[in-house]
Amino acid sequence: MTDLQRFSFNQITAKHATLRECAEACVRHGVRWIAPWRDRVQEAGLSESARMLRDCGLRVSSLCRGGFFPAATQAERQARIDDNLRAIDEAAALGTDCLVLVCGPAPDRDLDAARSMVADGVAALLDHARARRVRLGIEPLHPMFAADRSVIVTLAQALDLAQRFDTELAGIVVDVFHVWWDPQLYAGIQQASGRIVGLHVSDWASPLPGILAGRSMLGDGVIELRRIRSAVDDSGYRGPVEVEIMNESLWSSPIDSILDQSVKRFLAWV
């Protein structure tokens, strides 16, 4: 990337900062986009967050996150859907057209049943998503999260799910950390043309610094970041690119250092 026009700062990259601290740091570093997480929005208040981000001149690339559809009982599944409906409202209030969905694990050993629950859950959100003009971004997670975060684990599977619904309502989010290993990656990105609603970048260092917090700064790992970004561009996506890095060592850095590294590495590697 030659400039920061498409750079978005995903708030989890500075996990210990409040939304306001993130937003003000973004402004100091010339960043135009931010992707807040729901817990930090709730902490600051929804309308206060929306106003504060507007006042900072920041646009919201996506809201993280909805999803987690599968559950053992119908009542619990409905509670998850209700929470996703609220997340759609929050996304609309923040002025973003993308709600990221991390689809959730199975409540037992039955992956097939859980995958059906995910499809049913997404379907239950469509009317509200249409009314609020929010697009649902189904994010396939790395298969190492299949037991505890998402039964949707490949680009092809996420695309197959999204394609059951209208293009303007359901798309997929490509996070390089989750999909870089896939032998079908580039074919899948091409097939997803018109359905990609978000691109997240981080890196895969070896050995991994962890599982849940296993991501590394851009350029510190083995992912062909520019090749994947170019392939996503070629598929027609021209929206913001979120830097989303969960890493204990990075989290312990001052926020200006986090932003400074993220911006420089983004320009060098993405």
Q: Which residues bind its own copies (CB under 8 A)?
A: 105-106, 108-111, 115, 142-144, 146-148, 153-154, 156-157, 180-183, 204-208, 211, 221-224
Q: Which among 190, 177, 143 is positioned nearest to 10, based on CA atoms?
A: 177
Residue among 40 and 115 whose Cβ is closer to its own copies: 115
Q: Are 115 and 151 in contact, with CB atoms under 8 Å apart?
A: yes
Tell the smallest beta-carbon distance from residue 177 to its own copies (Å).
Answer: 11
Which residue in this structure is represented by tokens 């590394």? 216
Kindly state the smallest distance separating residue 139's Cβ from its own copies, in Å. Answer: 15
Backbone CA torsion sign across 162, 157, 231, 263? positive
Q: How deeply is 55 buried, as exposed, middle or buried, from its count of CB atoms within 10 A (0-12, 13-18, 19+)?
A: exposed
Identity of the residue, 115 or 200, whose beta carbon is nearer to its own copies in the bound complex: 115
Q: Which is nearer to its own copies, 35 or 118 (CB)?
A: 118
- 3-class SS letters over 99-114: EEEECECCCCCCHHHH
What's the min distance (Å) between Cβ of 251 and its own copies?
19
Give the nearest distance from C-beta 73 to its own copies in angstroms: 19
Nearer to its own copies, 31 or 152 (CB): 152
Helix (H) or strand (E) holding 241: strand 241-243
